[in-house]
Structures are given as C-alpha cells and as structure tokens.
Amino acid sequence: MTNSVFTLPAPYNEPVKNFAPGSPERTQLKAELERQMGETVEVPVVINGTAVHTGNVHNIVCPHDHGHVLGSFHKAGDDEINAAVEAAMAAKPAWEAMDWQERAAIFLKAADLIARKYTHKLNAATMLGQSKNAFQAEIDSTCELADFLRFNVKFMEEIYSVQPASDQGIWNRTEYRPLEGFVFALSPFNFTAIAGNLCTAPAMMGNTIVWKPASTAVLSGYFIMEIFREAGLPDGVINFIPGRGSRIGNILLGHRDLAGIHFTGSTGVFQNLWQKTGENIDNYKSYPRIVGETGGKDYIFVHPSANVDQVVTAAVRGAFEYQGQKCSACSRLYLPESLWPEVEDKLKAQIESIRMGPVTGFENFVNAVIDERAFDTIDGFISRAEQAEDAEVIIGGDRDKSRGYFIRPTVILAKDPGYETMAEEIFGPVLTLYVYADEALEETLDLLDNTSTYALTGAIFARDRGIVNTLMARLTHTAGNFYINDKPTGAVVGQQPFGGSRKSGTNDKAGSQLNLMRWTSPRTIKETFVPPEDYRYPFMGSDL
C-alpha cells in the first residue's frame, strides 16, 4: 500500500575509478583478478530462481590466453527453454501487481551493489572473460550498468507521471500496463552493461523476461543474475538461459506469448529474428514489440580546418579501444589531402607506442579479440587488404592466435572509397582511411552518406563554425549519435542516449524514456462522476 506520492532519488552517473599506480582500487582489482584466475566457476541455467545443471557444458576461457579455463556453463535444452517461459509467465501477475516504487527499489539496490560491493568482481569477470582492460571494464560493468539502472527507474517515474487532462465531472487516467506475455532479451558479448540493461529495462516496467546471454559473456552475465537476486528480485522475473541462439530463438519466436524482443547484436541476427517474427505473426496473442540495436560503420569526417592532434587522438581511441569491438568504434576516416602528411606521421607514432597484451598487464591499451571466429573474420579482412590493388595496409597488421587472439591495431589506406573495409562492419582493431581532395568536399560527403548501410555513430572535426553547421545538416541521417570535435564512442547514460538508424537498428535509444516506452501498453481510463440518465441531448428540445 502506498499512501504517499514518493519520489525516487535523483539519478547520477557513477564516477569512474582511475586505477592509477598506488590507488587502493588498483590493488583490490588485481587481487580479485588473481582470485578469479585461481578458481573455476560452474554457471547453471537459472529458471525461477533455481539453478539447473543440464550436463551439456561449454568452457569459459580467457580470450588473451585461451588455454586458461575460467569455468564452464550449462546450455539450456528444449525443456529448459520451455520451462523458462513458463516461469516468466507464472511470475508475471505478482510482479506487475507490485507497486512500481518497490520495483524501483530493487533496481536501485542492484545499482549500489554493482557500484560498491561487487565492482571488482564484475570488472574482473569482464576483463578476464571478455578481454577488457581495467578502464574499459570499469566504464562498462560498473559505471554504465549502474547508470542504466539508476536513470531508467527515474525515466519510469517520468513516464508514469504523464497523465491526460480531465474535464469537469470526469477523471481521465493513463495506466502504463506491462505487455501481455514475456519479453525475450538477447545480449551481445561486448558490453556487460548492455546485457544488464536488456533484461532489466522491460522488467522495470512490470514485464517478466527470458534472457539469453552471449556465449562469450556468460560469466559476467551470471554474476549480474546473482546480484539481482541479492537485490531482492523475485524468482522467475528474469530467467537466465545460456545456450545456442538459433535453438532458443526457434522455440521462443514461435511462442504464442512472445510480447517483445529486446536485442543488441549484429544486423544479420536481428534481421533473422524479425523475419521469424513475421512468419509467426498469426500465432501471437499480440504484436510483439521489436527493439534491436545492431551494427555500425562509424566514421570520423575531418575538415581542412581541424586540429590534427585532436583528430589523431580521437581516431586512435575511437578505433582501437576495446580492440574496436564497440558498435560505435570508428572504422572509417575521411581526411583532406592537405592534412594527410601530418596525420600520417602522428598516427604512426601514436599507434606504434600502443602496448598490447593480457588484461592483467595494466600497461596494455589493447588486449585480445573475443574468440577464434572473430579473429578469423578480422584476419580475412586484413589478408584481403594485403593482396588488394585498391587498398594498402599502412600500419600494423600483425596477428597471432597461438596463445590469445591478438591483432595489432591496423590501418588500411583505401584508394577506392567503396573498398570493403570502408563499407562493412569488421568489429576489430582495423581503421580504414580515405584521403579526399580538399576541393571535393561535397562529393566526399555524398560518399560518406552512401557508402555504408549503417547509421550508428559519426564524428566531425572542424574549427570553422559555419562548416560545423553545414556538416551537421548534410549528415543528418548518417548517425543516430553525432559528435562534434570528439570521438564517436563513449556514450554516457543520461547524457547521450544511444542508438542508430538505417540498418543500425530501431533507434529506441537505450537508457532513455524512448526505450522504456516500448515495454508498456497503456490503458486509458475515463471515469464519469455523475453519468447522464437520459439519452436526449438539449439540442433535441422543441423551439416552440
């Protein structure tokens, strides 16, 4: 019972720890890394709060040292997949009936557990399992995840408070019901925070979830599940089913009670999910909400008036942090001929100074790519560029998967602006650049607009304000997150709501009201206090 209009605490962005030498957080994180490297974790399927061991197990390894086993996870089979839906449906009535402030309290508590009690555990798991350095893990599995939870509950409150006008004698209300059915959340490997957001955003709005994590991010995903439980999340609200995507997808997408899909991952997989949903449209009770944030071919466009040092730093950080495995990673760079010689020298100098190695070596800026499949795909792009006539590998290119999946930051110079690495998502530490004639600004903007099917992030560098305005207008539909004199990565929840258009997704802006809106089906309620008791209107009266 809530005999009060409560307001939630104001959200804030979790401060980023810097892990500088001598800092307590560095010592604590290193100790936690040691601890996790010395144990093996057995990750179960979690249905209705109960651990299920299917016996069909898969190893969890360190990408930087694939011989090192961190644990194993049990894969869900058909029985577990169906049981997860049943558990979500059974948990639904009590969950949606719970006061929304109480639901909010669970997620606010989870945010504090993540940012305080379990920060080192989550950061270490993300470092070891997904090959992030300390800083990349911190901004992901601690800060962004806590930010998603704190800001989203505030957005939920804001949505619920939007109410219609009422005329005299009438009370109009909008009730923000959850969707009817369960929500299927599918998360990618590259952000622990995204995984946590995909399952909690719909849950906050009163929905229950079947969550399939990426097979290369199961360890951090399981730790998040344990935190939700400690925060008080009732059993069955989020059910955790690692396993084979296509197998899980085939069962869930055919289910009558599928109410929504909350996906982040590659464009191809998303298109496949959408197609299957279309094929099953007659089978569903409602029209499933489909939210998908997918691939990118993110750019930096440099104007001749730009500051070269700023451009080079943005390119290095934007392209190579987390080995280019960010959907927002800069992977194509358009440079004017007049700046190219200076950019080339400075780019080479910065990239040659980059250290690459295991996540346990804090001096390393670059670590390993996620797995052998990713390594081979990226290797294919670099190998083809080495042989190509219309492209040239000018920096880096070394790669070795013998112990870990290591690829040195690589720069390709494209002579053809439509060369494959200017157009396709590589998802690795590979930056392709195209040098344009200074006087060909207009044609180059057209090229940028038309070369790739994606429109996720993009950045422009220019000193001249008139040019900034021109570029911003000309490139309106090329990016859902647009940056002026900044790198195209590093969106912060509550500050730069994230998502792209075209083939980059439905652009429902993770970490914003727009996203939460997708998980509610409002009911409008009109109540008349003194209803009429005669059907006749006054105009029907006689003039005589």
| Chain length of the chain | 544
Nearer to ligand NAD, 344 or 508 (CB): 508
Minimum separation from the CB atom of position 500 to ligand NAD (A): 6
In Å, what is the CA distance from 101 to each residue of 6, 10, 199, 457? Answer: 8, 14, 18, 35
For residue 307, the one-letter residue type is N
Nearer to ligand NAD, 111 or 241 (CB): 241
Asked whether 208 and 48 are in contact (CB, 8 A), the reply is no
Instruction: Kindly give, in sequence order, each residue whose CB lies less than 8 Å from that of residue 351, ignoring residues fewer than 6 positions away.
Output: 316, 320, 395, 396, 409, 411
d(CA 254, CA 251): 5
Burial class of 346 by CB neighbour count within 10 A (0 to 12, 13 to 18, 19+): middle
Catalytic residue among 144, 293, 321, 425: 293
Active-site residue, selected from the candidate residues 62, 143, 199, 327: 327
State both tokens at 298: 């993110």
CB nearer ligand NAD, residue 483 or residue 498? 498
Whether 34 is catalytic is no
CB-based contact 499:505 (threshold 8 Å) = yes
**What is the smallest separation between the CB atom of 369 and ligand NAD, expressed in angstroms?**
11
Instruction: Give the three-state DSSP class for 390.
Output: coil
Question: Shortest gap between Cβ of 108 and ligand NAD (angstroms)?
Answer: 24
Give CA–CA dist 519/341, Å, rounded. Answer: 51
Q: State how far Cα 164 lies from the chain centre.
A: 33
Closest CB to ligand NAD among residues 73, 100: 73
Nearer to ligand NAD, 269 or 339 (CB): 269
What strands, in cross-sheet order, belong to the sheet with 65-74?
41-43, 65-74, 57-62
Q: How far is the CB of 197 from ligand NAD (least distance, A)?
A: 10
Task: Kindly state the smallest distance separating residue 237's Cβ from ligand NAD, in Å.
Answer: 20
Looking at residue 379, its amino acid is D
Our answer to whether residue 62 is catalytic in this structure is no
Q: Please report, as ranges, the residues that interact with ligand NAD according to CB under 6 A.
A: 186-191, 194, 212, 214-215, 245-246, 249, 264-266, 269, 272, 293-296, 327, 425, 427, 456, 498, 500, 504-505
Just list the catalytic residues. 293, 327
